[in-house]
Amino acid sequence: MRTIRWPCVVKVCLLVAAVGPLCGAQSAGPATPPVGADAGGSTTAPSSGAVTGPLSHTVGFIARTLETDGRATGKYQVWVPLDYTRARKWPVILFLHGADGCGTDGEKMLAQGLPQAIKKRNGKFDFIVVIPQCPSASGWRGSQEKTALAALAATFNEYACDRERLYLTGVSMGANATYALAAKYPLAFAAIAPVSGIGDVRSAKTIARIPTWIWHGEADKTIAADKARRMVDALQKADAVAVKYTELPDIGEEAWDQAYTGDDLWTWFLRYTCPERPAPTTPTDDGGFRKMDGKMENKFEKGKFRKMDGKMQPMNPH
């Protein structure tokens, strides 16, 4: 198992540059379905140790551990496409599991949602997928949110990721967190897809800046479909750049089985980009990712972009 070591307590938010087009800009040219090479690649994890030197050429589901001051602080897995190569940059999905995936084994989160869909595709899936594990069903809050984003940052550092094509999706508890993260970091994700979740309609004005495809089962007894309809209505009233809603008749909470099957969602994701965003690099004590370039520092934190070159200047995230 590869261990990622951080020198200090991890406090994270996504770094996003607010220059150039907004996230959700529609990419030029037709989007192609995310299919890759035939199955058969190794799924053996690399040996333990800090991530240094050349990128790993191991493919499949790769187990990872985050460490802070020599102490394990989180488990996650990375799906690496079977035909992965450093010669190109790959779109990235952050997948947040539901309550059934909670634990500390680094494995349970693979039994639900997107990881299962990838397995059913025989591994033909040309996205890098970051799959953090939440220890308890209390949700993706506080330190768990930070661990998820630290896993995302570590993946950007290790693999050839396309910083303009970062997507977010989650199921149930993870769908709730998808809404929350999108509201907190509205410039970070090119598009999002919450499945069987509930969002705060008060955040619709912020989320409206991100292309959003909401999926829900009409027969969901855990979170009523009416909750999803209200969020769709709120996004439409907020003049969302793009909002889609799929309600599946006679389907309960596990709407993700259909949402993640086929190429519709993934082709839709690839229509959108979030240009001009520096890749996540180094976790910092002040809760942000920073990418240093001489005296220039770009920092995005909770929707506010700051460009520091001698003096700090607030910039309009729009």
Residue 307 predicted with pLDDT over 60: no
Tokens of 149: 């984003």
- Strand 161-171 and strand 191-195: the pairing is parallel
Average pLDDT, the chain: 76
293, part of any domain: no
Specify the pLDDT at position 234: 97
Summarize the confidence of residues 74-79 as an average pLDDT: 95
- Residue 172 sits in a domain whose CATH number is 3.40.50.1820
For the packed helices 143-158 and 173-184, what is the interaxial angle rounded to 10 degrees? 80
Please give the model's pTM, rounded to 2 decimal places: 0.75
Q: What percent of the chain has pLDDT over 90?
A: 60
Residue 49 predicted with pLDDT over 80: no
In this predicted model, what pLDDT tens digit does every residue of 89-127 receive, in sequence order?
Answer: 999 999 999 999 999 999 999 999 999 999 999 989 999
26, part of any domain: yes
311, part of any domain: no
22, part of any domain: yes
Residues 260, 115: Cα–Cα separation, whole Å:
9
302, part of any domain: no
269, part of any domain: yes
287, part of any domain: no
316, part of any domain: no
**Closest C-alpha to 134, from 117, 155, 149:** 149
The neighbouring-strand residues paired with 66 are 4, 74
Identify the domain containing residue 270 by its residue range.
2-282
Domains of the chain: total: 1
